[in-house]
Amino acid sequence: MATPHHPRRGDTRRRIQEVALALFAEQGYEKTSLREIAERLDVTKAALYYHFKTKEDILSSIAEDLAQPIRDLLAWAEGQPRTLATKQEVLRRYSDILWHSADLFRFIQENQASVRELTIGETFKTSTAALGDLMKDPGAPLAAQVRSVTALFSMHAGMFVMRNVEGDPEEKRAAILEVALDLVAQAETNLSVN
């Protein structure tokens, strides 16, 4: 059992992830050192090394924590019919994932050059492509396919743009989801018209 003086290993790991992600977002991934992360945590570098050997190890662990909910969503969606209801549910579930990992997605958006060179970049690219494939119907008109995939990406863009807009975070999240749901509904309307 953890005591106030001896936190559980998982708590320490999560604290390291949170502090590192905050520093990566503030200063950029490349400009943040393990020493700075240790200092912000008020621990020695040796204590930090016990959990993570490199900055990439920290970032990979954060990405892995995010990857599992996305893998779960993909597994669920692949077993469902490609209906409007399924696509809308994918967007709702993905919205939850995004908003629970907002700091990571913000970091990815703001550090694209660094992320591209790291394993997290490939993981994110692969997951996003798989979700995009689930959202579109290959036989649909091109405009319908674009709307379906844009619904997914509008959630990424919306998170990035709306962070500087005044307002209740849940209302902003709902507005972003509403736009995504509307785009996928328009794509389905295109299918039924053609």
CATH top class, domain 9-51:
mainly alpha
The domains spanning 9-51 and 63-193 adopt the same CATH topology: no
Percent of the chain with pLDDT over 90: 48
Minimal CA–CA distance to 169: which of 109, 107, 102, 108? 102
Q: For residues 176 and 150, is the Cβ–Cβ distance under 8 A? A: no
Query: Among the listed ranges 15-19, 79-83, 120-124, 184-188, which one has the minimum average pLDDT value?
Result: 120-124
63-193 belongs to which CATH class?
Answer: mainly alpha
User: Stretch 28-36: mean pLDDT, rounded?
Assistant: 91
Q: Who's near 78: CB < 8 A, 6+ residues apart?
A: 134
- pLDDT score, position 6: 41
Task: Tell me which of 84 and 2 has the higher pLDDT.
Answer: 84
Write down the domain spans for the chain.
9-51, 63-193
